[in-house]
Chains A and B, each alone.
Chain A
Amino acid sequence: MSVGNSLYLVAPEIILGASGLLLLLIGAWGGFKSSRLVSILAVAALFAASAVAFEFLTNPSFADGGDAFFGQYRVDKFSALTKLLIYISAIVSIIIAPRFFENAGSRRTSAMRPEYPVLILFASVGMGMMVSAVDLMTLYIGLELNSLAAYVLASFLRNDERSAEAGLKYFVLGALASGILLFGMSLLYGFTGTTSFNGINQAFEGGLSTGALFGLIFVLAGMAFKISAVPFHMWTPDVYEGAPTPVTTFFATAPKVAALALTMRLAIEAFGSQVAAWQQIIIFIALASIVVGAAGAIGQTNIKRLLAYSSINNVGFILIGLAAANQAGASAMLVYLMIYVAMTLGSFVAVLDLRDADGNQVEEISSLAGLSKSRPALAAAMAIFMFSLAGIPPLFGFWGKFLVFEAAVKADLILLAALGIAASVIGAFYYLKVIKVMYFDEPADVVVKSDSKSHAIIIALCALFVSPLGYLLIPVLGNIADQAAAALFWAF
């Protein structure tokens, strides 16, 4: 394949990378005042990249996808779909940011900097590479590009102690995880003699040596850190709590999609011939994440920490689809991810919308008391997100759980499905707590009305998507996810 062709296939990354560099220059010369312009241009760049990804997803001439740069990078429906999700999350994270940073600086000055959208763009480039990676080298470069941008984003409010702490924690633990991952990759390379996923898969067909098994486990451990699955989840609540809320919104959605997609591709394309070697690990990680995510959330008083545990919990459910190790499971994971992104974006934006009379962010759950009286629409939306995250029908969150459990049942993992769904009841408890505080408790009158139209629109769109109306989208979403999942299983 010619270089020109390859460049065409990486068009989304080129668009984002080039505009990121350009916007960096504008930011450098324009100063803080340019942050609005830079944000708008960054959103435009992300829309352009989404358009290309959408083209790859829907244009029949890309049905089989293609490899760029001699098998380093692949464009297929799987990567196109996950990129779309990533870009949408990035767009929302940029749109909601200015209002948050308005009052967050020292002496009530705006802390919004043009670097924020630029960093999100670079993180998106990294994530785009992650989901398209079919080689360990691409994988690592994409992952690190995303992580480096993310470390800076976490400590974006550098005068804020919590934010600085979050960034440092994320950096130290993230570096450790990268080290583990790199070590695993070196073992894989050493024992298989190749860095391409396909090559590793072929080498594994003949059997798995102990060294390669160690490599596989280290790689999965590194990935588990990135998707914040138990037992590598410790950083999540602290980082989610400390990071500025728009950044948390971003962390909870885009990098999670990218890391989960990467884990899927690794497990299926690179380790697909040795399912037995990783299936048990995934089963353990999934169940542990569900239980720890649910149990850990119960005692939380900060809504962002609660949502952090909720994301751990949801990752556990998504991994059940991977444990099934079949096409239905992969498709279920993708549908779950789409719903998860909508629920998470919605609930974080709803949290962003909670401000007291002085304009400070409200994060204590107890301050939400009686929200249903002071802000009925916001409370209703929040209740929809909570019931949906808990997986109670008729909300759309149920459908994601339904599909992963169906995949598990199809793969004869009935015990896993039964345990997982039983543990989901523990999770329901703390989601109910939020609803109880909003609806049953006497008003605390902390939260005041918000005038942000962009928040209202995003919340309303997400709430509509996860409402029962979302079920009408099942044929469309299912069809896309099936095609994307089929792209992963091309070797079978």
Chain B
Amino acid sequence: MNELGFPILSLMLAIPTIAAIVCLFLSANSARWMALIATLANLALGIVLWLNYDIGGAQWQFTENAPIFGRFSWALGIDGIALMLIMLSVFLMPICIGASWEAIQKRVGEYMAAFLFMETLMIGVFAAQDIFLFYIFFEAGLIPMYLIIGIWGGADRIYASYKFFLYTLLGSVLMLIAMLWMTNQAGTTDIPTLMNYDFAPEAQTWLWLAFFASFAVKMPMWPVHTWLPDAHVQAPTAGSVILAGVLLKLGGYGFIRFSLPMFPEASAQFVWLIFGLSMVAVVYTSLVALVQHDMKKLIAYSSVAHMAIVTVGLFAFNKQGLEGAMIVMLSHGLVSGALFLCVGVIYDRLHTREIDRYGGLSINMPKYALLFLLFTMASIGLPGTSGFVGEFLSLLGIYKVSSWVALVCTTGIILGAGYMLYLYRRVAYGDLVHEDVKAMSDLSGREMALLAPIAAVVLWMGVYPESFLAPMRQDITTLEARIARAQPQGDAQITMGVPKKEEKGEHGSHEASEGGH
């Protein structure tokens, strides 16, 4: 079994699944409470998981393995990286349920069921230790998200839901063929074994591309990011939170779990591709974000830019880059989730996401303005917030490899400050010109309860990131050692200067005295 004596990961998967099925048959209000209780129970289990995680212990902990499917098995287990992402998922889930408490009024039972299924699938993706189990969880996430966008989304929801589904499906199907080839070659479906299996470098190229197609769409990387703004704009608030908070992390998780350790040579070979696309994404999507009139769209584009920082960090092939990428993922999950919640708060009052319809909110909504400012700063990456730690580490990592990439990506931070501050100025500062905006009330107790925990964690991660880095450190070291053999050479070859031979003569005595120290 595992350290706890009971299959905690299976339990974490079972609770939301059972709750989801029950929710389908409940009335609106009982479904809300059921969903909240189930997600809080999962959060509690997540905390138990973290507290019992043995930092520096075995690489894979809480492992379970039941070969009940014949060809592949129900194999679960986590390392530090998966632990942190599972924590992110279980932390955001109750907040999503809370955010939908009043906003969703029709078909509540089905809505809560869709979210709970989503939670199962997300935890499953991070906990799966069998490559096909992973694939099933990974792909299955499309179904609830498609329904969430399509049923409870905005006006143009149908187009957005199709685009989301078909884009991500097309991306992932080739990955299945690659997985079939790999398991056929290696003779196992066990992810930890595959992570240490050396595929022939020529084969790696194709396998890497197949995985890349899937993860790049999920991530999303430029130019396959276009589904994201549509999906975000049309999805209900909680849908956006979960999409930005966790679903985008599946791409990064995929790179760190599959692409890098399984195909190190190919990863090195395609570094130029990743860097190129990421540089374009950082600059281009930041500029696009600058001109948006729709708040959700702006944050969606900023997500693409932040995810590009993650990809450069991951493919820097060094510890700083990898750690930074992980922290950016966690931080972005919290911050963009919180920003979508902030948008949701004012959307619920005015029913528009048009930036120009707001203004001067700091006057009548001071609490809101304060929290919104905090998340804006965290998104920019101000020191003291989680954004800074991640972005600094990622850029440090990439600077070791390529000064140019670091230079271009750093402009993204500046542009990020530009569009976020511009957004904040237009929404929160200025005079209250619109009558209806004047009438908006400040955060309710429920909304405070949603945003305050995220704010606390954002500050915690910004001030003492060690809590989050410690569980991942050993896994990142292992990964770094695994990919070291393929590490591309950096462009800045810093060499120790050779001391100039000092001339003999009057300095000779000085030299002698130096030697005497």
Contacts and interface: CB of A to CB of B under 8 A. Distances in A.
Size range of the interface on A? 20 to 34
Interface string A285-298: 00000000000000
Interface string A416-459: 01100110110011001001100110000000000000000000
Interface stretch (B143-151, B307-315, B318-326, B330-338): B143-151
B136 to A, nearest CB: 4
A472 B69 contact: yes
Contacts of A475: 68-70
A232 to B, nearest CB: 27
Interface in A83-118: none
B37 interface: no
Contacts of B45: none
A428 B169 contact: yes
A318 B143 CA distance: 24
B69 A424 contact: no
A21 B181 CA distance: 53
A434 to B, nearest CB: 13
B185 to A, nearest CB: 10
Given A394-B140, A440-B150, A474 B69 contact: yes
A440 B157 contact: yes
A398 interface: yes
A333 to B, nearest CB: 16
A158 B139 CA distance: 47
Interface string B155-181: 001100110011001100110110011
A471 interface: yes
B181 A387 contact: no
A417 B180 contact: yes
B292 to A, nearest CB: 26
Nearest to A415: B177
Given A422-B174, A425-B170, A439 B180 contact: no
B166 A439 contact: no
Interface in A453-492: 471-472, 474-475, 478-479
Given A392-B142, A471-B69, A405 B176 contact: yes
Contacts of B177: 405, 409, 414, 417-418, 421
B71 interface: yes
A432 B136 contact: no
Contacts of A405: 176-177, 180
Contacts of B70: 474-475, 478-479
B150 A436 contact: yes
Nearest to A475: B70
A472 B137 CA distance: 16
Given A414-B181, A440-B151, A440-B157, A392 B173 contact: no
Given A392-B143, A421-B176, A440 B161 contact: yes
A387 B69 contact: no
Given A425-B170, A428-B169, A432-B165, A439 B176 contact: no
Contacts of B142: 392
Given A393-B139, A422-B174, A478-B71, A439 B169 contact: no
Contacts of B347: none
Contacts of A409: 177, 180-181, 184
B429 interface: no
Q: Interface majority SS on B: helix, strand, loop or mixed?
A: helix
B173 A422 contact: yes
A417 B181 CA distance: 10
Given A409-B184, A421-B177, A422-B170, A392 B69 contact: no
Residue among B137, B166, B169 with max Cβ neighbours from chain A (10 Å) = B169
A365 to B, nearest CB: 15
B135 interface: yes
A422 B68 CA distance: 29
Contacts of B170: 422, 425
A409 B184 CA distance: 8
A402 interface: yes
A80 to B, nearest CB: 21
Contact of A392 (B150, B161, B169): B169
B69 A398 contact: no
B39 to A, nearest CB: 21
Contacts of B174: 418, 421-422
Contacts of B132: 402
A5 to B, nearest CB: 36
Contacts of A479: 70
Contacts of B137: 394
A425 B71 contact: no
B161 A436 contact: yes
A398 B180 contact: no
A387 B144 CA distance: 12
Given A405-B180, A472-B68, A393 B140 contact: yes
B166 A428 contact: yes
A105 to B, nearest CB: 39
B136 A394 contact: yes
Given A409-B180, A417-B180, A474-B71, A432 B147 contact: no
Residue among B142, B169, B173, B181 with max Cβ neighbours from chain A (10 Å) = B173
A484 to B, nearest CB: 16
A410 interface: yes
Contacts of B165: 428, 432
B69 A406 contact: no
B136 A425 contact: no
A425 B173 contact: yes
Given A406-B180, A418-B177, A387 B143 contact: yes
Contacts of B184: 406, 409-410
B76 to A, nearest CB: 15
A7 B433 CA distance: 94
Interface string A375-399: 0000000000001000011100010
B75 to A, nearest CB: 14
A88 to B, nearest CB: 22
A428 B71 CA distance: 25
Interface in B53-102: 68-71
9 interchain residue pairs of minimum CB distance: A475-B70, A393-B136, A409-B180, A474-B70, A421-B173, A394-B140, A440-B150, A425-B170, A393-B139
15 contacts: A387-B143, A392-B140, A392-B143, A398-B136, A406-B180, A422-B170, A425-B169, A425-B170, A428-B166, A428-B169, A429-B162, A432-B146, A432-B165, A436-B161, A475-B70
Given A409-B181, A421-B174, 5 more contacts: A387-B143, A392-B139, A392-B169, A432-B146, A472-B69
